[in-house]
Structure 1
Amino acid sequence: MKINKLISLVVAGLLIATSIALAAYADPGNNNSNNKNKNKSTFGNSKFNDIDDDDVKWAKDPILRMTEKGFIKGYGNGFFQPKKPVTQLEAIIMALRVAGEEPKAISYADLISLGKKNFKFKNLISLWAEGYVDLALEEGIIDEDDLRNLNSSAKRYEVAKYMVRAIGLENEAEDNMDADLDFENDENVPDGYEGYVYVAIDRGIMTVYPNGMFLPNKPVTRAEMAIILYRIDENGDYDTDYEKFTGEVVSIDRQDREITLEISGNDRTFDLANTVYVTFDDKKGSLSDIEAGDDVKITVNDDDKVIRIDVDRALDEKDIFTGRVLAIDEDELTLLVSGNQRTFDVDADVDILFDDQDGTVDDIIKGDWVKIYVDSDDDVIKVELTRDLEDFDTYDGEVEYVDSDEITIQDGSTERNFDFASGVQVFFDDYDTGDVNDIEDGDDVVLIVNEDEDVVTITVDRALEEVDTYNGRVLAIDEDEIRLLIGGNERTFDVDASVDVVFDDQDGTVDDIIKGDWVKIYVDSDDDVIKVELTRDLEDFDTYDGEVTYVDSDEITIMDGSTERNFDFDSNVQVFFDDDEMGDVDDIDDGDDVELIVDEDDGVVTVIVDKEL
């Protein structure tokens, strides 16, 4: 099929980057008697200072409409910069927005930031864009090769690919890779992009210039992008063969994916597609924004599923907050939002949306990461979560044992042991958040446990102690004090024989720490050590004293009384001299009096030399 309808599109004035003022943009719906008032411009005074010039005013109405819907953004200072080229990354994000995929991209960003979703291109992509890029890759809008030049200007053939793929016309593009491109410079379209350019023109998303050329390598400006988005948004279903129905919403069930309309006095139920594009008079919305009694127009695809719903009213104004749940009941929701606590009114029948299905207020647990929608009365009208709906069990008890991987509590007469989930949340009194290292034996706790028997949330019934941490090399330790070399300075701390000492593999005691160990200590407000962590396994050491008879970089021989002993050096051997000065094995001489600390493999881990360095 040739694309002769290009002529009519050009005549109608749907041209990009031309200075001709196009009457079609004043009333794009003037050929449809059923919608003749739908698209008339409602924008009297421009909110941008740079779109009234003669060379860009042809794009003014699309710019205002698309910025109002949030598909393309201004610069926040009264300027739109219509002549500035869009980058490839910006074009990809706009493609996701106009296809109704931005909420999913935002949820992906939340999952990535929480470590619940892997994103292997973190070193290439800015943090704020990770969710968009991850979704675009997953949906096949872009390929991994497209990640190389995301900050470069997006060319027309690239925008054609992004938009065609985003609106679900990939198969049509593949079928038309050999189609006749009816413009003069068709040979300039790169291999593999012919089908996308064909479909973009055939569907009226993009057009040729008045000189009959498409100019595939020309960067797309922000004004041109606004028009491309405008055309996609106006067409909506991207296929004139799709059926449309107009009626009043009787009910909508997001969990069962159904919507029932009253059409000409009769109720009719339609299945909802997995992704439904929802628009209101002024901007994009979601299924949860639709209410019984709304007048809507729905678009149904070839599978008899609703893919688009246009709602004939303005979208209710609401604020959006994202944060960690600190407390929730049937009346109030308290969140930690950007380090501050905020409490909102919430009703028991508020919309609760999990990743896989709808839920209730009772399904939200302390520690959940949520996005809430709040109306002008400060009431929560919707809560979105970045996890699937699941059942949780709650256990109360006293901590008998805890380390970085697991916890054991005494629940009445029953001892219970659980592993920690990877993102476990720990709360103390006054909603202070800590981590599992702050939990101590004897603490009273409430555990929330998921279906895999892993602890996802711990509430500790006490205040979180103010604790300082220090990392350093042990210079000396006994049952009363520990002396560390920290950043080149010596510091001494009080330590009790019963302090928690945690090795990589198990707990130990103060006696298991040796000179030269690298440790992390936790110190309370009284400057007392409350915990010591070591980066090695617990093992037994032997100590030998004697005079050096031979030493090189690999081994040492000493005369211990009448016994000659020979040992290899451990790869990380530490060597100390008087006044705890540190050297290396090359500083040890024959005849030196030394003390050797030797591990279970007979390797010397520490040498203490009885002389000054």
Structure 2
Amino acid sequence: MSGRKTRKASIVFLTIILILAFGSTQVMAAGFTDITATKYDWARPYIEKMNLLGVVKGVTETTYGPDDSVTREQLITMLVRLMGWESQATGKSLPSTFPKANSVAPWARGYVAVAVEKGIVSDEDLENFRPADAATRSEVAVFAVKAIGLGQEAESRENLNASLTFNDGYLIELKARPYIEIAVEKGIMKGFPDGSFKPNDKVTRAQIATVLHNITKLEKTNNIMVQGVVKNVDSTLLPSFDLKLGDGSSKTYTVDTNTLIYKEDADGNLTSAQLKDIKSGDTVNIIASRNTAQYVEVAYGKQATIVEDEDEDEDEDKVIKGIIRGVNISANVLTIENQDNDKYESYNIASDVKIRRDGTTSDIYKLMIGDTAAVTVTDGKIVRIEAETATKEIMGVITDITFISKNPTITIEDEDGKENDYELDKNATIRKNSRSADVSDLKIGDEVKLTLEYGVGTRVVATSTKQDISGTVKAVTLADINSVTVIDDKGREHILTITRDTEITKDRKQIDVTDIRPNYYVDIEAENDEAISIDVTVRSVKETIRGTVVNINEDVKVIVISIKNDDGTKSTQHVYYTSDTILYKENREVRISRIAEGDEVICIGSYEGGLFFADTVHDLTISD
């Protein structure tokens, strides 16, 4: 009999422990019966998360409808909820200018009205909203990018060629391309394994949960989630963990049988985990009901070093350089991967923090996970942040290409005339003139758009500058790099490189660079400063005289010029002109009266009977 009492007492004690450990009330998460195992395991974490955040709801009390298409009005509703604007939608009416307002479902009108106010629904979408139409992947990208405040950034890229590499990129409308480009850059959306984007495919309710989850990793959304760094984990007596919050305080959250725990992998996907998988130093995002965690999301990466305010030297500032790995705006905490020790460190953000991003004054809302940054910490709080976009684009002209270092380095001159060197990743994608290319195809003078990721070039889109030059050969240089100097028909000098691939012909026959002579007349097709083809035309041999005008006698039609000889001495040359002689000044045909003493000129012509007669005279002096 005493044995039965002992067993009964043990059961009662165990029951008390379980109640203390897990709580007497179960918290239901999504609980949708149609999110079946195996088929929807990939979407389950995101649906559960968005459901707990109140962003997505079921089509019935027990079903989610994962394969149903998301309508445009549903998409807008989800985005408005996600961004924390639901309270603004309550009782809000569509503007009087909104076309066919009655076509929007009554429950969605307030949300759409907020979206119009925020600029998410604008332009063609405002003129023809089509609320009940299924949203396409392209439309999701556009609305999402606008929702996170990057609509103007997308508009600024409309005149540029979006660097999309999807094999079905031709199906993407031009106006949508920059939005999709940004959505891909920010990790909101990505392509399919076959290399396509499928812009016109309808988005299912299962897929949209994933997109919404990706957005939460970038921007301030609603403030239900709590972010912090795990201090201690108790997975035995009272399943729980202690969390250091952004304000420096600590709080304990219990875990029960209904708590959903997921861990992020290297690809950003969430996989099921248990309390024992959470370690001290992990950065976590949680959704809680009072002190009970309903949802726990463990961020991928190395563990953070918990920095306590009392350990800081109050009189000393320190600058930490690295990559931003987390920004919790509601809790005012930033997590940075310190490049000196490869550790994740979390710090409180001072209320008067000064922030600059990409060289301009910014704010905390524009900081992105993945930005490189230098943060200044004073008294345990971040007082200054200098951040740069992890992915940025450089526009300019190639002025040099070197192969001295391990990877090629290209020098680009931007529109302000500043030159900077950029190392190319060994697997960098290179396209030139709309075709796949190699680094060896890049030439000095190419116009380029270079995509940088953490300061290293990962994509180069180059366009060669082509020109046709006709003129007289001034000199031919035969050296390690062969070149030809040509004075064109307007007196401008061009120095062009001749390569082994340069095609040189004379009288329709192939000739070598050694057969080109000064005073030959040539037609050159050039790419940047490299001659692609040279056609030598048989013409009477012309001479070129360059010097400074010292006198003009219009009665006998002679120009006396001073010439500097190769040995440094000077001599004078009489240049005769006739009514057929063409005179140029500042690339325009002029009369002889426009040429004055002291002007520098180039005279092209020939000798007859010992006298030099000019066919053209080019005045190189620029007038004030």
Class of the TM-score when normalised by the shorter of the 2 chains:
0.3 to 0.5
TM-score, structure 2 normalization: 0.33
TM-score, structure 1 normalization: 0.33
